[in-house]
Structure 1
Amino acid sequence: MKHTRALAIAAMSLLLIAAGCGARQAKDVPVTAGAGDTAAKVVGVQNVQKAKWGTEAELAADVIPFMELDVVVKVSGDVTQVHKSRGDTVSKDETILEIDKKDMNREKEKVDAALQTAMEQVDKAKKDLADNKKEIELSIAKTKLSISDLERDYAKMRNNFDEGIGEKSALTSMETKLEQARMDLELLNDKQKTLETSNPLSPAEYQLKSAQIAQEEWQRSMSYYDVKSPISGVLIYMPAEVGMTLPSGMAIAKVQQQNVVKIKANLTDAYRRMVQDQAELSFVNPETGETFNGKVIYLASTADLQTKTFELQLQASNTAGKLKPGTRVQLQLNAPQASESITVPADAVLRENGQAYVFVVKGDQVEKRQVQTGKTKDSQQEITSGLDGSEKIVTRGQLRLQDGEHVTIEQK
């Protein structure tokens, strides 16, 4: 009996404890209000703006010499003098080194002698031609006089023969002499014509021309023994020393033209479109921060099959030597015309699962609007799609908003 009463008292105590705990829990949990009873959130807003965005980009480019040529030895021989060394500045046609000229000096004596002989032969041929012409002219004159005398004597003998006082044999002999004289005159006239229409000096003049060509060839060959720079620039390779024997055709030095340089870069198609109509581009030396300008001298119209890029070359003045071939610069790619785009404060753009969105105010509610973003500059974000420019967006308080929520615009 006592045991039964104890159990009843224990059960009653547990019920009282449970009831007390439930009352406390109900008191601590707030009552959920309906959606219509939620207070509107206060937000800051701003009209969407439009601004011009310039297209800008930087691209690494290589500085290369405008021209680089080998100095090639055109004759073989021993080096007798070296005038320039590696790193020296040279001018176009300036002598870099000299090759032994002893054999060429001996050859000059032969060439000069041949030329002198040929000149004397031409002078002699001219004198002989003048003498021949004069001799023929005199012979023609004498023959004409002889013919005139023969014709007069023949006429007299013919008259005598006709009168019966002359002999037939004498008349026939006179006719023969007259005919022979006329034939001699015809032969002399042919010789004179030949002298006038032909060039008896040709053999001698040919010898003279050959001697002159030989002398010109010697002079040209002699110039090869003074090895000269083909362009103005800097010797970047020059190992020659006195006493060294050089074979013909050897590249003994290399000259870079550095007062003008090229800036070379490989562009993607997007970058190529940015610069295709521009005559000049700027670039920056990253070591000094100095900006330079270069003239566009080449822009490939087709892409390289391997790199899928378009080659660009600029020409830039480098008289001060600040641009070193082999270094790199930063090419400034700027579109010539800036485009007008929709712009919003960068903080107004939120992201969720990699997608950008903003809250657009419509009456007393907000719409969660998905947008596409472009460039960012000075705390402003370019919007490329999703807004048409007439919207008002939330710029403060957007982090605690949800799509469709009621809002109150804060008073400034």
Structure 2
Amino acid sequence: MKNKRWIQIMISSALLAMGGMAMAGCNAPKEAQTEVQNVQKPLVKISEVQKRSIGAPQETVAEVTASAERDVVVKASGDVLKALKKRGDQVKQGELLFELDPADVLLQKQKAEILLRTAQKSLKDGQFAAQDDLDSLQPLKDQIQMAQIDIEQINRTLDNFKVTAPISGNLTDFSVESGMTINQGIVGKIQQINPVKIKANITEENAKLLKGKTELSFYATNQPDQLFKGKTVYFADIMDTMNRTYELELQADNANLALKPGTKVQLRLTDEAEQEVLTIPTTAIIREESNTYVYLFSGGRAEKRQVELGRLNELYQEVIEGLALGDQVVVSGQHQLKDKQEVEAAATN
């Protein structure tokens, strides 16, 4: 009896266990569905695309040069009778710089003039005496012509004894003094420094910053607060393959002669306003090989967007293409996202 009762108890327990398993099986899909429904969207932090200063204006080193330079050339040799200018003086085109002593040449001129008058008188007298033989007077005519040529050459030599400035500017490398003897050749230079030229070699990257610009600012390194303006007169279209730069030349007024040839200046390739650019936090950037992306937050979804970036300034980087002012980008949690995935933006403080 006891064994029979024990068997009945075991069968009842087994039936109860099977019933419990069946009920659990019926409830499982509902519980799983509830869990799926309770899965939260990825929580991300977002930041707005804003205009910020990307840093100080872009600059490069340039050099001040004379806008024109000419040699002071002496075409005659002789003693300096009078020097009117000295090194460093400002001169005007055509202004007398110094004069050579013309005494010896004037004597030659007097001699040639006497010979000319004598030949002219002899020709006049001979014309009366030899009316039937005019060919005999030809030597006198030749003598007159030679005397006239000599006088013309002497006059030109005398003109060369007065040395004038070929252009207006600053007299440099000039050491002519009264009483010294000089020979034909170059005795000095004149540099035209109003206006002046500003010359620079621009890298390929910086050349993009000058597109469409006709005027740039610059300053001397010892006076950073005093800005000068220069107009672009030449910007090379072809790169110098030796140093991989483009030649740039500006022209600037220099009425007060503050800018000296040979001086180094800082040339501003951009101004303050150009430094205000669209930026995003560097934490938003995703790099895949040579491309850069961000996730754009819009309509509750994260859209993967390729962007072109520019200058970097600590925590922010310039956006050249791909985003607009006011766009919102994901700055945290984006590395686990998929394109157009639903996300939830974290509340900002």
TM-score range, shorter chain: 0.5 to 0.7
**Given the alignment of the two structures, is residue 283 of structure 1 paired with residue 217 of structure 2, yes or no?**
yes
**Given the alignment of the two structures, is residue 214 of structure 1 paired with residue 147 of structure 2, yes or no?**
no
The structure with the largest strand share of the pair is 2
Q: Kindly report which structure 2 residues correspond to 1:13-92, keeping only aligned pairs within 5 A, or say none.
A: 37=39, 41=43, 43=45, 46=48, 57-92=58-93
d(CA) in 2 for partners of 1:314, 1:344: 32
d(CA) in 2 for partners of 1:223, 1:332: 49
Q: Give the deviation of 1:201 after TM superposition.
A: 7.8
Secondary structure at 2:332 match in 1:
helix
> Is the Cα–Cα contact under 8 Å of residues 68 and 255 in structure 1 kept in the other structure?
yes
* Count of aligned pairs: 297
- 1:407 is aligned, of 320, 344, 349, to 344
Question: Where does residue 262 of structure 1 map in the other structure?
Answer: 197
Q: Kindly report which structure 2 residues correspond to 1:141-156, keeping only aligned pairs within 5 A, or say none.
A: none
> Is the Cα–Cα contact under 8 Å of residues 66 and 262 in structure 1 kept in the other structure?
yes
- 2:173 is aligned, of 237, 249, 272, to 237
Question: Where does residue 252 of structure 2 map in the other structure?
Answer: 316
Secondary structure at 2:64 match in 1:
strand
Structure 1 segments unaligned to the other structure (5+ residues): 1-33, 51-55, 133-190
Question: Where does residue 188 of structure 2 map in the other structure?
Answer: 253
Which string of whole-angstrom CA distances, capped at 9 and with x for unpartnered residues, describes residues 357-400 of structure 1? 533336545466564312479x9854345x466995346xx336
Q: Give the deviation of 1:218 after TM superposition.
A: 0.7
Q: Give the deviation of 1:290 after TM superposition.
A: 2.1
Q: Percent identity?
A: 32
- Mark the CA change 1:374 to 1:232 in structure 2 (over 3 Å): closer, same or farther: same
Q: Aligned-residue CA RMSD in angstroms?
A: 4.5
Q: Give the deviation of 1:223 after TM superposition.
A: 2.5
d(CA) in 1 for partners of 2:111, 2:210: 64
> Is the Cα–Cα contact under 8 Å of residues 308 and 320 in structure 2 kept in the other structure?
yes
Which string of whole-angstrom CA distances, capped at 9 and with x for unpartnered residues, describes residues 263-314 of structure 1? 2222345655765776x43232232532323251x44454434223333333
Which string of whole-angstrom CA distances, capped at 9 and with x for unpartnered residues, describes residues 303-327 of structure 1? 4342233333333333332322111
The structure with the largest helix share of the pair is 1
Question: Where does residue 146 of structure 1 map in the other structure?
Answer: none
d(CA) in 2 for partners of 1:213, 1:315: 47
> Is the Cα–Cα contact under 8 Å of residues 284 and 332 in structure 2 kept in the other structure?
no
d(CA) in 1 for partners of 2:332, 2:240: 48
- Mark the CA change 1:306 to 1:357 in structure 2 (over 3 Å): closer, same or farther: closer
User: Which 4+ runs in 1 deviate beyond 6 A?
Assistant: 199-202, 351-355
- 1:224 is aligned, of 138, 160, 173, to 160
- Mark the CA change 1:316 to 1:121 in structure 2 (over 3 Å): closer, same or farther: farther
Amino acid in the other structure paired with 1:73: V
- Mark the CA change 1:321 to 1:348 in structure 2 (over 3 Å): closer, same or farther: same
- Mark the CA change 1:409 to 1:302 in structure 2 (over 3 Å): closer, same or farther: closer
Which string of whole-angstrom CA distances, capped at 9 and with x for unpartnered residues, describes residues 48-86 of structure 1? 689xxxxx8543322111222222333333334322211
TM-score (normalizing by structure 2): 0.65
> Is the Cα–Cα contact under 8 Å of residues 281 and 333 in structure 1 kept in the other structure?
no
Q: Give the deviation of 1:222 after TM superposition.
A: 1.7
- Mark the CA change 1:258 to 1:209 in structure 2 (over 3 Å): closer, same or farther: farther
Q: Kindly report which structure 2 residues correspond to 1:45-194, keeping only aligned pairs within 5 A, or say none.
A: 46=48, 57-121=58-122, 123-124=124-125, 128=128, 132=131
d(CA) in 1 for partners of 2:229, 2:190: 24
Secondary structure at 1:311 match in 2:
strand
Question: Where does residue 31 of structure 2 map in the other structure?
Answer: none
Amino acid in the other structure paired with 2:104: D
Mean Cα displacement is larger for which, 235-244 or 344-353?
344-353
d(CA) in 2 for partners of 1:79, 1:349: 78
